[in-house]
Homo-oligomer: A and B are copies of this chain.
Amino acid sequence: MKFSKVPEATIRRLSTYVHHLEVLEKNGEVVVSSANLARSCGVNAAQVRKDLAYFGEFGIRGVGYYIKDLADNIKTILGLNREWRVAIIGIGNLGASLLLYKEFFKNNYKIVAAFDLNPAEVAGRVSERTGKPVEILHPDRLKEVAKDRRIDIAMITTPASEAQKVADLIAQTTIRGVLNFTPAQIQMPKGFEVKNYFFTAVLDNVAYLLRWKRR
């Protein structure tokens, strides 16, 4: 099984399955049918079975899935059974919100560093909101800090015009995963896993669907 050949949409749905399995588990449920899991995730049962079949046999005929086992298995598949150490680069409104967004980092993601070109000013502003001191570092220190704190993933939340400069900095570090929140398309050397996650593109998609529906 070449795990890297699994469709991205499957991986995305696995995240959803884990979330719902955790909700079920918290509610004290033990077993779930593929039909029920599918319904609560907004897909059909065949899709659930197909997505899981990439990775093995998890269901028990006539029973369904053991919730805790399936959640644990998917977490192992996704690599969520370990801690991922994350840096945020660019602490404007969006960066600060990610820094403070609890639901985002409930489980296995840990923000271990935050960077901004104006560390002192930004640290003051964020501390005011949190009521406790916040450490903001200058990007000059990215390479050193990435190594010391074993950063796995960097999230770029600078203005779009700065994104490539940040990408160039990241390319010189031990960081290997990048989540780009800006509309800029960044170029990185081979060996980096880069995903773009730009708000407006999704909003544009909704606008497009509404626009053509109204014809």
Q: Which residues of A contact B (CB under 8 A)?
A: 3-4, 8, 11-12, 14-16, 19-20, 40-42, 77-80, 82, 84, 86, 93-94, 96-98, 100-104, 108-109, 129, 152-153, 159-160, 176-179, 182-187, 193, 195, 197-213
Q: A153 touching B207 by the CB < 8 A rule?
A: yes
The answer to whether residues A210 and B103 also contact, given A12-B201, A16-B185, A185-B41 and a CB cut-off of 8 A, is no
Out of B41, B109, B204, name the residue touching A15 (CB < 8 Å). Answer: B204
The answer to whether residues A101 and B109 also contact, given A153-B206, A193-B210, A212-B3 and a CB cut-off of 8 A, is no
Q: A79 touching B179 by the CB < 8 A rule?
A: no
Which of A8, A78, A187, A202 has most B Cβ within 10 Å? A202
Out of B78, B93, B160, B197, name the residue touching A97 (CB < 8 Å). Answer: B93
Query: Cβ of A210: which chain B residues have Cβ within 8 Å of it?
Result: 79, 84, 152-153, 176-177, 193
Name the distance in Å between A171's Cβ and chain B's nearest Cβ.
Answer: 15
Query: Cβ of A97: which chain B residues have Cβ within 8 Å of it?
Result: 93-94, 96-97
Q: B96 touching A205 by the CB < 8 A rule?
A: no
Q: B153 touching A42 by the CB < 8 A rule?
A: no
In the complex, A25 Cα to B49 Cα: how many Å?
48
- Copies of this chain in its oligomeric complex: 2
In the complex, A196 Cα to B207 Cα: how many Å?
14
**Could you write out 7 A-B pairs with CB less than 8 Å apart?**
A4-B212, A12-B202, A93-B101, A109-B200, A153-B207, A176-B210, A179-B206
Query: Cβ of A177: which chain B residues have Cβ within 8 Å of it?
Result: 206-207, 209-210
Out of B187, B195, B207, name the residue touching A78 (CB < 8 Å). Answer: B207
In the complex, A80 Cα to B96 Cα: how many Å?
29
Q: A211 touching B16 by the CB < 8 A rule?
A: no
Query: Cβ of A77: which chain B residues have Cβ within 8 Å of it?
Result: 208
Q: Which 4 A-B pairs have the closest CB atoms?
A: A79-B211, A97-B97, A42-B185, A15-B201
In the complex, A109 Cα to B204 Cα: how many Å?
9
The answer to whether residues A109 and B40 also contact, given A100-B93, A210-B152, A212-B3 and a CB cut-off of 8 A, is no
In the complex, A19 Cα to B109 Cα: how many Å?
31
